[in-house]
Structure 1
Amino acid sequence: MTVAAASLPTLERCQLLLQQWRQTLELTARDRSLLSGHLQTLERQMERLAQRRLRIAVFGRVGVGKSSLVNALVGEALMATDVAHGCTRRQQAVTWPLTIEALEAIELVDTPGIDEVAADARARLAARVALQSDLVLMVLDADISRVELEALDTLLNWGKPVLPVLNRSDCWPEPQRQTLCRSIETRIREHLAVSGLCRTSRRVLAPIAVAAAPRGAVVLSDGRVRSRPLPAEVDGLETALRSLLNEQGQALLVLNSLRQAERLQQRLEAGRLLRRRQAAQGLIGRYAALKAAGVAANPLILLDLAGGLACDTALVVQLCQLYDLPMGGPGARRLLQRLSGHNALIGGAQLGIQAALSGVRQLLMVAAPFTAGLSLAPAAPVALAQAALAVHTTRRTGRLTARWLLEQKGRGKRSRPLPATLLRRLAWQDSTLQRLLAEWPQPLERTAVQELLP
């Protein structure tokens, strides 16, 4: 980070550093094709960052009153609502005329229900919109259900800030409403503790009770009772959001922007590692075949071991180059240190087995003149056994090397730090961003190492 960048406010520093990272991101035509959706998502997020335009997703099951809540907050009936469930069939965004000094605009994004029957596409859309937003309002209309807890898991696994909202609170008397809110909070905490997300659960508070579209009873002149709409009761939610956005609005934008960039970086590295896996398989196979041929053809054990060591060393060098970890650096030295114990065990076993097999083969060759060559017949299986051992040890060395290199998470030569590093640096100098990171930690999305091993 340059001195000029360090003197800027956090949001401007984030924008500058993201632009520099994006410019130095080397993408092939294949990368651009495979990651086109993620690239477009990041570009839109960077535009919102530059415009200081924060997005709040209104998320939840079908029929809980998400559209009504958006209308109540905005103060206009901009979103279609209906007594039939599933009125929202695609994402819709409106500008919320709430004045926040640090932000230029706030968008409320209405999403389809996450549990509508025969609507898997809508559920995926709702999850995608929520994950691409800077803050999520999870709307409930009763005690939290299993489907909602699973959706909450998804959001928190992405480190997404979530604020539970209990809609239709006018349906319960005040004592029952308080009991329901406590039950929701308790169930969330218990579920997150079981699922291993208890660190995050301390920030998931009791839901804020609202009534987006309340109705009251009216007695008509003929004695019939009908209902009529009443003013929305969303002041508590609006106050909470105003306080939150005044304090953390820009930090939420920065956090989501850098996590979007980190998500793109992870997908890029995972794709490249999968392609490297195929190249590593071919590389290990060639060296294993070369080592096996040399061991099978050579009768001297010392030459077998020397040739095998040279072959394994060349394999390690080639794998380091393939995974962008040049030999001679501290990373390669750590790799060789880690391989030393493995090689000592395998080398000792190999020495004993190879010595026994070589001794048997030499005895058979010495006995050949006295047996009219019949003793040479078992020499071929012995040579094959030696070759099989050589192949096994080479593959073991190759896989161990590849595993260690994969665990480095692509730490090769980089001209710019990764987005996760930029986020930590910015948080070090910004206490608000640091607090957000502590409250909403994000388990990094990584492809399992076992799936990438050759």
Structure 2
Amino acid sequence: MSQALPTPPSSTVRCRQLLQRWRNELCLGAREQALLAGELRQLDRQLQRLESRTLRVAVFGRVGVGKSSLINALIGEQLLATDVAHGCTRRQQAVPWPQAIDGLAAVELVDTPGIDEIETAGRARLATRVAMGADLVLLVIDSDLTRIDRDALDTLLNCGKPVQLVLNRSDRWSEQELPALLRSIQQRLPKQLPLTAVAAAPRRPVLDGEGRARSEQAPPRIATLSQRLIRQLSGEGELLLALHALRLADRVQQAHQQLRLRQHRRSAQGLIGRYAAAKATGVAMNPLIAIDLAGGLACDTALVMQLCQLYGLPMAPTSARRLLRSVTAQNALLGGVQLGLSALKQLLLLLVPFSGGASLAPAAPVALAQAAVAVHSTRRTGVLVAEQLLRRRGGQPGALLQRLAQADPVVAHWLQRWPASAASDLQPLLP
């Protein structure tokens, strides 16, 4: 009787195992530990939340849109202070959501300060900080989209953060006006971004004993939002936790690589210069194309491996040659010029017996030109290799993200919805 094969681990379990192994194997010097302390603390907190299955939902938006009221309505208790005239939240506050969610041990609702209480540059920083500390963001508005709302939404999406848009105080519009407002908002949103109308703290008119009209608190109308949150977190909560941890780990890895490049920039310049001089001397002295090509390839391969060692990213010779082939494709023009000069030099040397030595005269400047091209191509190869090392994902959290996307359609769905981070300026980091 055949034995049943074990069930393969889920994407979330694989994420947790591989991330923990990567974190344990991440070797940092004392200076690197100090410079990356903030990113590492954020990553370690997220890894702890992933292990304990505790998901964070940040409630974000302008001052006075009812963020605290919305959280109070969701938890069914007046736990957070609210003020109808001014925003009361001055710092982030996290409260547990007493709602059972399949696959999660706990969900925290995080109240955040109003984004329009600070200057424009600070808003983007606040939005980025909130995005990096939450697995899901509820962006709360209380009217049609303002420029501040749109800027915050763009920042959150560019950080790769899943967002739900919540229109609070929907009781201020009539049954005829509300659908038109929702259509107006939806038309300016990215596709597939959920929009839900709620009334976290609605008021209703009543008559007192003397027949005078006044308003009183009515029950919150948040059932649609609550159900949508429960449905999304039950289906994707664990995965959102894991993907957020992977994103943070990828940021740490990229910051680490950039730091290595910055620290070793001068050493890399000296190393590239020495290999450039050696290659220039070799190609100038060698009379045969085959020797030029073999010597140049050996020199460039050794340079790649030395650069990898310098940056603390060791690479096998086969991988070094593969990386070199990728770089050579970008350096094709210089390679063609170098090959042409080698062929011309060999031809001039072959003509020496027939020209009575006259062809030796032009061979010398050709050799000098060949040496100059060799210096330039080696320097360019070194710069391109350093750039490839910074962007290299092999065996790192970024690569794990891509492998999971290929194996799991839900992961692929989220990665397609999360725009890639803008490429950083590498020029100051390159040798």
TM-score by length of 1: 0.76
Between the aligned partners of 1:333 and 1:130, the Cα distance in structure 2 is 37
| SS of residue matched to 1:144 | coil
Does 2:420 match 1:443? Answer: yes
Between the aligned partners of 1:220 and 1:184, the Cα distance in structure 2 is 38
> What displacement does 1:170 show?
0.6
> What displacement does 1:268 show?
1.4
Instruction: Mark the runs of 5 or more structure 1 residues left unpaired by the alignment.
Output: 190-200, 356-382
Contact 1:403–1:449 under 8 Å retained in 2: no
Between the aligned partners of 1:215 and 1:252, the Cα distance in structure 2 is 36
Instruction: Mark the runs of 5 or more structure 2 residues left unpaired by the alignment.
Output: 347-363
> What displacement does 1:165 show?
0.5
How many pairs does the alignment contain? 412
What does residue range 179-190 of structure 1 map to in structure 2 within 5 Å? 179-189=180-190
Between the aligned partners of 1:425 and 1:348, the Cα distance in structure 2 is 39
Does 2:260 match 1:281? Answer: no
- Partner of residue 255 from structure 1, selected from 235, 240, 243: 243
Between the aligned partners of 1:286 and 1:391, the Cα distance in structure 2 is 14
Between the aligned partners of 1:339 and 1:245, the Cα distance in structure 2 is 47
Report the CA distance shift for 1:274/1:350 in structure 2 as closer, same or farther (over 3 A).
Answer: farther
Does 2:353 match 1:328? Answer: no
> What displacement does 1:336 show?
4.8
Contact 1:326–1:332 under 8 Å retained in 2: no
Larger CA deviation: 26-35 vs 115-124: 115-124
Q: Which residue of 2 aligns with 1:8?
A: 9
Between the aligned partners of 2:427 and 2:27, the Cα distance in structure 1 is 26
What does residue range 90-239 of structure 1 map to in structure 2 within 5 Å? 90-118=91-119, 124-189=125-190, 201=191, 203-205=192-194, 207-221=195-209, 224-239=212-227
Between the aligned partners of 1:32 and 1:425, the Cα distance in structure 2 is 28
Aligned-residue RMSD, C-alpha: 4.0
Contact 2:137–2:162 under 8 Å retained in 1: yes
> What displacement does 1:329 show?
0.8
- Partner of residue 420 from structure 1, selected from 398, 412, 415: 398
Larger CA deviation: 443-452 vs 32-41: 443-452
Q: Which amino acid aligns with 2:305?
A: C
Larger CA deviation: 400-409 vs 36-45: 400-409
> What displacement does 1:133 show?
1.0
Q: Which residue of 2 aligns with 1:82?
A: 83
> What displacement does 1:453 show?
3.1
Q: Which amino acid aligns with 1:53?
A: T
Report the CA distance shift for 1:133/1:292 in structure 2 as closer, same or farther (over 3 A).
Answer: same
State the Cα deviation string for residues 190-235 of structure 1 (Å, max 9, x = none). xxxxxxxxxxx3x213x10001111223344556543322211111
- Partner of residue 398 from structure 1, selected from 375, 379, 389: 379
Contact 1:291–1:308 under 8 Å retained in 2: no
Does 2:328 match 1:339? Answer: yes
Q: Which amino acid aligns with 1:111?
A: T
Report the CA distance shift for 1:263/1:84 in structure 2 as closer, same or farther (over 3 A).
Answer: same
> What displacement does 1:327 show?
6.9
State the Cα deviation string for residues 21-62 of structure 1 (Å, max 9, x = none). 111112221221111111111111111111111110101122
Report the CA distance shift for 1:418/1:337 in structure 2 as closer, same or farther (over 3 A).
Answer: closer
| SS of residue matched to 1:164 | strand
Between the aligned partners of 1:16 and 1:119, the Cα distance in structure 2 is 40
Report the CA distance shift for 1:317/1:447 in structure 2 as closer, same or farther (over 3 A).
Answer: farther
Between the aligned partners of 1:224 and 1:384, the Cα distance in structure 2 is 104
Matched-pair identity in %:
44
